[in-house]
Amino acid sequence: MKRKKVPYTNLIIVLSVAIPLVVLILFNVKIEGYNLSFLPPIYATINGITAILLLFALAFIKKGNVSVHQLLVKICMALSLVFLLLYVAYHATSDATHFGGEGWLRYVYYFILITHILLSVCVIPVVLFTFSRAISGDFERHKKLAKFAFPLWLYVAISGVVVYLLISPYY
């Protein structure tokens, strides 16, 4: 059986490399004169909504409601893009916030933060390839990859909220 070519493969690869690089570069750029200190609770809320909608998307596809599943996944992708834009805007205009917790909480925080950052980079191509397979009608391969994409994306969304809740007293 011949494998279908995944549409947008080159674009997905470029985005999967470019997004983390641009975020890293913009983290080292400071734009003065803007106070975007109101953004962290907003982008944490966006992460929380994304997590909830991902769970609903899973529930709808398990019930066979493909159209609602597709809509929810598209909303999650849009929310992730909005999150990314707000996150970069905040970090490009604000000084870094340092975690002030001590003891075991410090280890928990850094474990969650590090896994969140690493998996947020890894999830980009996984989600984009999963989405690409779905829009190309390759549902068998979509389903196989979604078994990895879903828990990764859900963890990144939930851990983003947890990181915010843990560091918010130090803003």
Structure confidence by residue, pLDDT tens digits, 118-160: 999 999 999 999 999 999 999 999 999 999 999 999 999 999 9
Ranked by mean pLDDT, which of 7-16, 94-103, 157-166 comes out on top?
Answer: 157-166
The predicted structure's pLDDT at residue 65: 98
* Domains, the chain, with CATH or none: 30-170 (1.20.120.80)
DSSP the chain: -PPPPPTTHHHHHHHHHHHHHHHHHHHT----S---TTHHHHHHHHHHHHHHHHHHHHHHHHTT-HHHHHHHHHHHHHHHHHHHHHHHHHHHHSPPPPP---THHHHHHHHHHHHHHHHHHHHHHHHHHHHHHHHTT-HHHHHHHHHHHHHHHHHHHHHHHHHHHHHGGG-
pLDDT recorded at residue 1: 54
Percent of the chain with pLDDT over 90: 84
pLDDT in tens, 1-45: 556 666 689 999 999 999 999 999 888 888 999 999 999 999 999
